[in-house]
Amino acid sequence: MNLKELEMRSEREFNNTICLIGIIPFLVFVHVLADKFGFKIFIGETGYIVLVSMIILLLGIIMGKKMLWRVIKRLIDFNQQVIGLQRDLIEKKRLAAITETTLTLGHEINNPLAVISGNLEFIENDFEKSNIPSTIQERFITIKNHCERIREATNKLAHLAKPSMRTIYGDTKIIDLAKSKINLPEKK
């Protein structure tokens, strides 16, 4: 059932409810008048009062129903706006928490990584001066490449604009850096 069908159904149920609520006092009123004056309720002054009361009641039902329905629609619209604002606020808080966490992790990872990278540069300079087997040089290059990969990942996390999450196990989710929006500063 779509929103339009739901609104039409709600309006129809609302109209029926208002009509039922409005007719009960009217029937009581007619019954009291009929008991008091017999069945001559539409004759004379009493008939005039009954007729005017019926017209006022019907106009009240029609106008009241329209006014109440407008109020209800406004309340529904306002409620939808509040729900949207709540979703936006939750999303902003979630993004702020992710940003704080990634900045902290980046800081804690990049400090030791800078020490490792610096020492790797010293070792690389020593490679040129000594005769080191190629297997050790290949392992060194692998270590150096992985350090660069870690630095790139922490840099992406630090500039994360809109994270894209993916499920890795059950309800556990992680940030998918390949699908996330990242605002990296331009290189000069």
The mean pLDDT value for 30-51 works out to 63
In terms of Cβ atoms closer than 10 Å to its own Cβ (0-12, 13-18, 19+), residue 5 is: exposed
Q: Print the domain residue range for 155.
A: 93-182
Q: How confident is the model at residue 73 (pLDDT cuts 50, 70, 90)?
A: confident
pLDDT exceeds 70 at position 76:
yes
Q: Are residues 71 and 130 in the same domain?
A: no
Q: How far apart (Å, rounded) are the C-alpha atoms in residues 14 and 26?
A: 19
Q: What pLDDT digit, counting tens, does each position of 129-153 carry?
A: 777 787 888 888 899 999 999 988 8
Residue 132 domain-assigned (yes or no): yes
Q: What pLDDT digit, counting tens, does each position of 44-56 carry?
A: 666 666 666 777 7
List of long-range contacts for 54-59, beta carbons under 8 Å, 24+ apart? 54/26, 57/22, 57/25, 57/26
Residue 187 domain-assigned (yes or no): no
Which of 85, 111, 138 is the last residue before a domain boundary? 85
Residue 14 domain-assigned (yes or no): yes
Which of 59, 85, 111 is the last residue before a domain boundary? 85
Number of structural domains the chain divides into: 2
Q: Are residues 113 and 74 in the same domain?
A: no
Q: Are residues 65 and 102 in the same domain?
A: no
Q: What pLDDT digit, counting tens, does each position of 100-140 carry?
A: 888 888 888 988 999 998 888 888 877 777 777 878 888 88
Residue 152 one-letter amino acid: E
Compute, in degrees rounded to 10, the torsion defined by CA atoms 67, 68, 74, 79.
170
Q: Are residues 66 and 112 in the same domain?
A: no
Q: Are residues 7 and 79 in the same domain?
A: yes
Residue 188 domain-assigned (yes or no): no
The mean pLDDT value for 63-92 works out to 83
Residue 98 domain-assigned (yes or no): yes
Residue 118 domain-assigned (yes or no): yes
